[in-house]
Amino acid sequence: MSDSLVPVHPEATETIEVLRWVFPVGTLGFIGEPADIPAPLQVLYAAGVLSGSPVVQPSAVLLRIGAGHTWRADGPAVRRALQAALATPEAWRPPEGAVGDDVLRAAIDEVLAGEVGDFVRGHGGVIDVRTVAAGEVTIELGGACSGCPASGITVQNRFEAALRQRYPALRGVVAHEIPSSRRSRLIQLLPTRR
């Protein structure tokens, strides 16, 4: 067990009963509903302070407050229990069939849905994820990114850097250009600007 507390902070979600408790990237090596959780959280579930199942995300866990309880009254106890639970990551049991690349895939989705994806799309580019295996990502660049002299900078300084922030165990990103036969088909599918 770690002697230091894992820093966590709550973020609101669309549902008032659910808070997203954010913690450092890489604290837990899986995503989804855990098959088992550490004792400090089990106690809160048994007491009805928390309800439903926790859902682990790449750098957070979603927790639902139980009926008759409030975040204002019970939030500090939840924070302490979560910090104690995160201090023993080996006590969390991943969902059946979970693999480390699931976390990497979720991080890729976040990167492409966020600022990096907006940048690439804003310039008429396309990043097509081909494979995710053993911590390595293979992508193909299309649209305006295909043949662009700055595409290497986009891949390294934007995509890979953002991905590494969300998934520090990233082994690397391998980028290829989309073959010209597929490129012309993609360009035809891209909306035209007026």
Residue 169: which domain range?
A: 100-189
CATH classification at residue 185: 3.30.300.130
Characterize the bridge pairing of strands 172-177 and 136-143.
Answer: parallel
Task: Give residue-wise pLDDT tens across range 183-192.
Answer: 444 444 555 4
**One domain, residues 61 and 124:** no
Assign 185 to helix, strand or coil: helix
**One domain, residues 70 and 130:** no
* Contact criterion met (CB below 8 Å) for 169 and 135: yes
Residue at 1 is within a domain: no
**One domain, residues 38 and 109:** no
What's the rounded Cα separation, in Å, for the pair 125 and 168?
26
Total number of domains in the chain: 2
Residue at 126 is within a domain: yes
What's the rounded Cα separation, in Å, for the pair 55 and 50?
12
Q: What is the pTM of this model?
A: 0.66
Residue at 165 is within a domain: yes
Least confident of 86-90, 146-150, 171-175: 146-150
